[in-house]
């Protein structure tokens, strides 16, 4: 897991809010839900008039891609990369969901502009609530980490990864996790058959 430690200005007399803020922020960097924990269910807007719940995907793996904000630069853009890989994700039986604190109308414009073919959920009200529950909210910045979760068919976290905010984590980790899941499934199916 990739982490960076960010130096906070140290002062001898810390005000209480400052201390609380520091604690919250440093906590957010280490608290991404680890494997084997139950993935908290949520219901968020996927479009201005539609809602989507994680539990709807029970029975298949889901890739949750938290990202800080819509409208990052084009060529190195993480969502543009995943958009090209939907077939690979689907071939591995998985659905992809993007999540940021942007509102549904912003997501709609972003998805239309980038021709994204997967849902972007608006973690908008209460702001960042889902990111907080997954342990990947950046209190300092008011956005989520660039964090990836692969949720298994039973709704448990199988794999998670937090990338430095400015670094596109690519997709190799996701693919490995999904393949792992698929292999496990094949093995257990073979065991049952025996």
Catalytic positions, written as ranges = 75
**What is the side-by-side order of every strand in the sheet holding 157-163?**
50-53, 43-47, 120-122, 95-100, 62-66, 146-151, 157-163
| Residues, the chain | 194
Figure out which of the listed residues 21, 24, 77, 103 binds another protein, where binding follows CB under 8 A. Answer: 77
Task: Give the Cα separation of 96 and 75 in Å (integer).
Answer: 20
156 sits near another protein (criterion: CB under 8 A): no
165 sits near another protein (criterion: CB under 8 A): no
Figure out which of the listed residues 116, 120, 131, 162 binds another protein, where binding follows CB under 8 A. Answer: 116
Q: Which residue stretch of 57-65, 114-122, 150-158, 185-193 sits at the interface with another protein (rule: CB under 8 A)?
A: 114-122
| Secondary structure E strands in 43-142 | 43-47, 50-53, 62-66, 95-100, 120-122, 137-138
109 sits near another protein (criterion: CB under 8 A): no
180 sits near another protein (criterion: CB under 8 A): no
- Spatial CA neighbour of 54 closest among 96, 107, 100: 96
Figure out which of the listed residues 34, 35, 76, 166 binds another protein, where binding follows CB under 8 A. Answer: 76
* CB atoms near residue 26 (< 10 Å): 15
153 sits near another protein (criterion: CB under 8 A): no
Instruction: Choose between 128 and 169: whose C-beta lies nearer to another protein.
Output: 169
User: 180 with 187: CB under 8 angstroms?
Assistant: no
Instruction: Choose between 80 and 153: whose C-beta lies nearer to another protein.
Output: 80
61-88 per-residue burial string, b: 16 or more CB within 10 A, e: under 16: bbbbbbbbebebeeeeebbbebbebeee
Figure out which of the listed residues 75, 112, 126, 190 binds another protein, where binding follows CB under 8 A. Answer: 75
In angstroms, what is the minimal distance from the CB of 58 to another protein?
A: 27
Instruction: Choose between 77 and 180: whose C-beta lies nearer to another protein.
Output: 77
- Residue 162: asked if its preceding bond is cis (omega within 30°), the reply is no
In angstroms, what is the minimal distance from the CB of 1 to another protein?
A: 16
Q: Which residues bind another protein (CB under 8 A)?
A: 74-78, 80-81, 83-85, 88, 114-117, 168-172, 175
């Amino acid at each position: 897991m990739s982490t960076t430690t960010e130096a906070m200005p140290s002062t001898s007399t810390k005000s209480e809010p400052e201390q609380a803020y520091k604690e919250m922020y440093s906590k957010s960097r280490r608290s991404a839900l680890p494997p084997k924990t139950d993935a908290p269910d949520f219901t968020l807007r996927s479009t201005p008039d539609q809602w989507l719940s994680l539990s709807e995907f029970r029975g298949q793996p889901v890739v949750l891609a938290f990202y800080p904000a819509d409208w990052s630069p084009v060529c190195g853009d993480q969502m543009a990369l995943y958009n090209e890989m939907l077939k690979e994700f689907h071939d591995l039986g998985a659905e992809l969901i993007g999540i940021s604190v942007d509102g549904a109308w912003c997501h709609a414009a972003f998805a239309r502009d980038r021709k994204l073919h997967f849902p972007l959920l608006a973690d908008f009200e209460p702001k960042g609530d889902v990111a907080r529950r997954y342990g990947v909210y950046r209190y300092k910045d008011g956005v989520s980490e660039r964090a990836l979760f692969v949720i298994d068919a039973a709704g448990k976290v199988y794999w998670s990864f937090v990338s430095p905010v400015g670094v596109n984590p690519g997709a190799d980790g996701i693919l490995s996790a999904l393949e792992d899941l698929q292999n496990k499934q094949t093995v257990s199916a073979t065991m049952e058959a025996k």
